[in-house]
Structure 1
Amino acid sequence: MREHLTPDRVANKIRLMRTQYQGTFLITEGETDARVWKNLVNLSQCFVENATNKEKAIGALDILEKDNFSGVLAVVDADFDRLEGKQSPTPNLLMTDTHDMETMLLQSPALEKVLAEYGSEDKIKKLTESTGQDIRTLLIVPGVFLGYLRWLSLKEGLSLKFEDLSFKKFIDDTTLALDELKLIKTVKNNSQKHDLDEQTLQKRIEDLKQKTHNPWSVCCGHDLICILSIGLCKALGSCNTKQVESLILEKDLRLAYEASFFSRTELYQAILQWEAANPPFKVLAKIEE
């Protein structure tokens, strides 16, 4: 089972493959990320290996680097690393431009393609005009607060549980507005942390906020997609819940993400620089004009 993979096993698999394969090895931190990369790389020159999580991807890379193994690159989600001032310890480890791969997809025109499939032009126009905010801002505003709560939990060791949250409890389905205290209460209950004071957590989040923080680095892509899912059922469209489940939207965003969109990112430029520094190894597929 892939969940039982260790960094050593990932590294050993790549070592064994090198005897028959002379191309680049790209280590990713998850299966969904690997699916995105397989649409962006030249598969005849670059093999994509899923390490199953960020720590294992970094660990496998570290093992291979200590062996002076050439032609290996790892790409992981930035998460809160940039906000924490953390930098990559090696040129062979690159991070997403924003919090994670999902936020990169949402920043791109892939979002417009998904909205064209599931959304209502009239409803989208009505909501954006009434709020004075574009679609991405409508997703980002509630997503930022939730992102800060996630970051606060990590920084202060609160062990809050964000899996399986019911977003409908704190997101208004007609405006996508967030009720901050309802969100905190929902997360508290989901985490069995009833002793935490909601107003105190709200203030701690306000203290954590800084204008210099890029909201796309604060927000978790999965949270934004859950908010989008709610919106497409009422505020932005007329879908039923099953049509626009978050897993379906994530899949559609991946399929809608084109290599030409990726070519506009900082990560794309970083990979080009890596290729230039590591001949003859190649990663990227040729982008059609």
Structure 2
Amino acid sequence: MREFLTVDRVANQIRLRRSTYSGTFLLVEGSSDKTFYERFVDKLGCELVITAGKPSSKQRAIAILEILEKSNFRGVLAIVDADFDRLQNTSVTSPNLLRTDTHDLETMLIQSPALEKVISEFGSEEKITQLNRDIREVLISVGIAIGHLRYISQSDGLNLTFEGITFSKFIDEKNWQFNDVKLIQEIKNKSQAFYLKDEDLEKRLFTEKSNNQDPWQVCCGHDLVEILSLGLRKAIGTNKTADVEPNSLERNLRLAYEVAYFYKTQLYLEIRKWETNNQPFHVLQIIE
């Protein structure tokens, strides 16, 4: 019950803020999302509000939006990660709710040319040549298996634990080769889910892979960054672990992401459409 009170409190704070602020309130899930989006917003006309907390930042953002909408509060927009919404055909419940083009913000970063800029900074040209594979395709081919297992866990109610899994237990650091069976074993161990049979999960994983879903909707961005971090240590780079740890890489990807990349996204077009439909409120900087 406390979480719902907290959601109400955030909504009330926004209502109170309206008495002295006439701009747009943009709800985002976390501090890294705020860091990303504030580069594109008009800081005078749009104020970002972080909704991080339990049960989840995304659910909280949607709940806060719903509370404000019920009181006919104008000038509020929420941007959340798509997660598995598109795979589950989950419809958007409000014209004031937008989702990332891909699974999450991090996959949008990796899909963009920001990835090449980070790899050129931390990768070894010689090792990348020896690998002779497209790095983005390698990330996706490994990340999609983990993404499918996350999806299976959610849709089948398995409640598997993915936080804190050791990626080097199922990915060879030297050649970046991936092992499905070892992945399943690592997740079972981390989840203490020994009652689940390896064969059943392998079959379920194979079935999901056979559906040929869009990998950018399946893969979790944090997983892709973990895989990249591992590769930059030996397979495609010679970095110390501390120099390419995931949080640092995500920060570098955000820094390498140019405004021009954002202008090419569906999300950008949807924000502009929202602005047209909600005048005089606006979110983004005016392009000169």
Q: Is TM-score (shorter-chain normalized) higher than 0.5?
A: yes
Whether the 8 Å CA contact 1:100–1:221 is kept in 2: the answer is yes
- 1:39 is paired with a residue whose SS is coil
Q: Output one character per residue of 1:29-74: Cα deviation in whole Å (capped at 9) or x when no partner.
A: 1111111111121111110100000011000000000011111000
Q: Output one character per residue of 1:10-32: Cα deviation in whole Å (capped at 9) or x when no partner.
A: 21111111111111110011111
Q: Which moved more, 1:225-234 or 1:193-202?
A: 193-202
2:88 corresponds to which of 84, 90, 103:
84
Indicate the residue corresponding to 1:98 in structure 2: 102
Structure 1 residues 155, 78: closer, same or farther in 2, change over 3 A?
A: same
Structure 1 residues 5, 148: closer, same or farther in 2, change over 3 A?
A: farther
Structure 1 residue 209 corresponds to structure 2 residue 213: no
Whole-angstrom CA distance in 1 between matches of 2:186 and 2:23: 48
Structure 1 residues 117, 55: closer, same or farther in 2, change over 3 A?
A: same
Whether the 8 Å CA contact 1:75–1:96 is kept in 2: the answer is yes
CA RMSD of aligned residues (A): 1.5
Length-normalised TM-score, structure 2: 0.95
Whole-angstrom CA distance in 2 between matches of 1:108 and 1:9: 37
Length-normalised TM-score, structure 1: 0.94
Aligned residues: 282
Q: Which moved more, 1:248-257 or 1:183-192?
A: 248-257
- 2:200 is paired with a residue whose SS is helix
Structure 1 residues 212, 252: closer, same or farther in 2, change over 3 A?
A: same
Structure 1 residue 253 corresponds to structure 2 residue 281: no
Indicate the residue corresponding to 1:117 in structure 2: 121
Whether the 8 Å CA contact 1:233–1:240 is kept in 2: the answer is yes
Within a 5 Å distance, the mapping from 1:106-255 to structure 2 comes to 106-127=110-131, 129=132, 133-255=133-255
Indicate the residue corresponding to 1:279 in structure 2: 279
Q: Which moved more, 1:209-218 or 1:61-70?
A: 209-218
Structure 2 gaps of 5+ residues are none
Whether the 8 Å CA contact 1:25–1:47 is kept in 2: the answer is yes
Structure 1 residue ranges (4+ consecutive) displaced by more than 6 angstroms after TM superposition: none
User: Offset at 1:5?
Assistant: 8.0
- The percent of aligned pairs where both chains have the same amino acid is 52
Whole-angstrom CA distance in 1 between matches of 2:287 and 2:146: 36
User: Offset at 1:199?
Assistant: 1.6
Whole-angstrom CA distance in 1 between matches of 2:24 and 2:147: 34
User: Offset at 1:165?
Assistant: 0.8
